[in-house]
Amino acid sequence: MTRHTRILMSVIYWAFIVYLFVPLVLMVMMGFKDSKFIGFPIRGWTLEWYTGIFQDAEVLSVFAYSMTIAIASTALSLAIGTWVACFLGPNRFRGKLIVFALTCLPAVIPGIISAISLRIYARALDIEPGMLAIILGHTVHNVPFVALVVMARLATLPPSHIEAARDLGADSIVAFFRVTLPYLIPALVGAGIFCMLLSFDDFVRSFFLGSYEPTLPVLIFAMLRSGMSPEINAISAVVLVLTAVLGLWAERSMRRLNRGS
């Protein structure tokens, strides 16, 4: 690579970084603005909007509601996705490619189409709009991501480990819990964090499957209908910080687990 090519690549890289992070920085800054309207110039700074959201019972309740849905849907997604990965990974059977394609289908269907179909299906099963419907909808969307991550990890598991467990008298269930599952923990941690973020941020399925109690993205959408406010920026900034902290923790945990495996 020539010197001019390296310079060009560096310029493109930093231009992308600026394009990616400047909107986030502006969003955080607007949360400190001493005014009820978004825009420049910023004549004064205040913590009012940030302290206000921690004193707002509605925001805290909606946040807890969204976290409950995210945790529940993630737990279901991990259980189902791991089972699908273990079924598809080592086994060879006719129609495996079709089953794999059907497993990945919820991840590639447009969100609006998925939300409408899930709403119709929930009605057919007599599941009322609300927490249960949202959890099931998020789970359907998240299972393919868990299956793909776990299958990638499962492909690196040496077959000799399973064979050694079988030689020592372990049946399939014991071998799974003693050998396979511990080996999959780094993948499960990464997939779990990813599913939690997907569920917490999912607006379309939450909007179509929810009832009168909104999730956080639906609440922000409702607040936007009455105009932009620094309170929205403050909520978004807090969620951004929590997401970044969770992502960094997951990345460090995965590195530590990978070193130990």
Closest CA to 196 of 10, 70, 96: 70
DSSP for 17-84, please give it: HHHHHHHHHHHHHHTTBSSSS--S----B-SHHHHHHHH-HHHHHHHHHHHHHHHHHHHHHHHHHHHH
**Cis link prior to 41 (omega < 30° from 0)?**
yes
Quote the pTM value: 0.83
Rounded-to-integer distance, Cα 94 and Cα 220, Å: 47
Closest CA to 176 of 82, 78, 257: 82
At a CB cut-off of 8 Å and minimum separation 6, what does 185 contact?
257, 261
Residue type, 51: T
In the DSSP assignment, the letter for residue 213 is S
Q: What is the pLDDT of residue 137?
A: 92
Q: What is the pLDDT of residue 229?
A: 76
Residue 47 tokens, joined: 């913590």
SS3 127: coil
Nearest 5°: the CA angle 128, 192, 55 is: 65
Q: What is the pLDDT of residue 37?
A: 72
Largest CA distance in the chain: 74
Q: How high is the mean pLDDT in each 10-residue block of the chain (261 residues)?
A: 79 89 83 74 78 84 91 94 85 78 87 89 87 92 92 82 72 78 86 89 89 86 78 84 80 69 56
